[in-house]
Amino acid sequence: MADVSIEDIRAAQERLAGRVRRTPLLTDELLDARHGAQLYFKCENLQPVGAFKVRGATNAVFALSDGELRAGVVTHSSGNHGAAVARAARLRGVGARIVMPEDTSAAKIEAVRAYGGQIVPCAPTLAAREAEAARLVAETGAAFIHPYDDPRVIAGQGTVALELLEDLPQLDCILCPVGGGGLTSGIAVAVKALRPQVRVIAVEPAAADDACRGFHAAPGTAATAPVPAVPAIAPVPAAGDVPAPRTTVADGLRATVSERTLGLMRRYVDDVVTVSEEGIVSAMRVLWKHLRTIVEASSSVPYAALLEQRLQLAGQRVAIVITGGNVDLDRLPWSRN
């Protein structure tokens, strides 16, 4: 299992300069008063493609040599990672094939096309996605970029923490949502290398709590559970006590942690807690109202832990990562449509 080091994350930061945005922090004095804490929201929803995924995808693409890229890149994704890989490949001047299930929403297909990605449709099963991506790699020699089970991707996501530590010298705690674990493990590696007293807490929907179970499992527990039936993105060899994800409104967090990401989380993350579906929707609405920024359901999960009082953070300086802002504006979770 390849590890990820702070040097990898620093190298990623140099690679990303000028290619992704250094995202702003938002604050709201009314939310601070409500929670008795200083909350800093790191707005990865304001990245190109609207998600932190540009960091990992761009780092992975630009870490490859010209030779490795001669046939372009391939990934499979029904979400933000596909658009992020398409964009990174275009910046690098190579082609990107994005394997997408035939039932992917028009908006997600449009996002990949907007960045010049070539869409390769496949049957709407995980097996079909993986097979199609593997076939493309074998036939063309293109480079495969996994959404999270890739050290270059994890290092790219970890650059979020470098910016937080630079911008907030008095930080006490970082909250982030966990899906496949690429962001969480990258952040945790950076924080524990540079300022280990800062706590890193991952928050997950109770309805998709594989990371929480894996994190709190007895040491040495290995991957034994069956792979989930229809995850949002491809599972890699799973680790820990991994249940089949049930439905969560936080569709970006349905992925399952990998052995690599869970291993990093177990070493470097301070805690993993879960929140309810109702809490996620309430949090999303509060954030829209108070921050006036478009936060997708997955990104509302960490703040839901404050709303549901799952964490005691009074008096602390807390950074909360808003991971993305891609929302179907015709189907907001609080509307009756």
Does 18 bind a second copy (CB under 8 A)? Our answer is no
Residues 193-212, one symbol each (x = binds a second copy by CB under 8 A, - = not), give --------------------
Does 333 bind a second copy (CB under 8 A)? Our answer is no
Distance in Å, CB of 160 to a second copy, minimum: 17
Which residue in the set 54, 69, 294, 321 belongs to the binding site for a second copy (CB under 8 A)? Answer: 294
Which residue in the set 13, 45, 104, 157 belongs to the binding site for a second copy (CB under 8 A)? Answer: 45
Beta carbons of 35 and 28 less than 8 angstroms apart: no
Cα torsion 49, 166, 12, 5: sign: negative
Interface segment toward a second copy; rule CB under 8 A; list 57-65, 131-139, 179-187, 283-291 = 283-291
**The pair of three-digit structure tokens given for residue 222, joined into one six-digit string:** 């290995």
C-alpha distances out from residue 151 to 98, 189, 276, Å: 20, 12, 31
Pairing of strands 317-322, 118-122: unpaired
| 219: helix, strand or coil | coil
**CA angle in degrees (0–180, nearest 5) for 214-218-224:** 55
**The pair of three-digit structure tokens given for residue 309, joined into one six-digit string:** 């009082």
Distance in Å, CB of 239 to a second copy, minimum: 33
Q: Packing angle between helix 6-16 and helix 53-63, nearest 10 degrees? A: 90
Q: Packing angle between helix 6-16 and helix 151-167, nearest 10 degrees? A: 80
Which C-beta is closer to a second copy: that of 103 or that of 330?
Answer: 330
DSSP type of residue 218: P
Does 218 bind a second copy (CB under 8 A)? Our answer is no
Interface segment toward a second copy; rule CB under 8 A; list 166-174, 194-202, 220-228, 282-290 = 282-290
Which residue in the set 48, 121, 124, 141 belongs to the binding site for a second copy (CB under 8 A)? Answer: 48
Which residue in the set 24, 196, 226, 237 belongs to the binding site for a second copy (CB under 8 A)? Answer: 24
Residues 86-125, one symbol each (x = binds a second copy by CB under 8 A, - = not), give ----------------------------x-----------
Interface segment toward a second copy; rule CB under 8 A; list 7-15, 25-33, 173-181, 244-252 = 25-33
Distance in Å, CB of 251 to a second copy, minimum: 17
| 105: helix, strand or coil | coil
**The pair of three-digit structure tokens given for residue 16, joined into one six-digit string:** 């990303």
Beta carbons of 175 and 201 less than 8 angstroms apart: yes
Contact residues for a second copy (CB under 8 A)? 24, 26, 28-30, 45-46, 48, 50, 114, 285, 288-289, 291-294, 325-326, 329-330, 332, 334-337
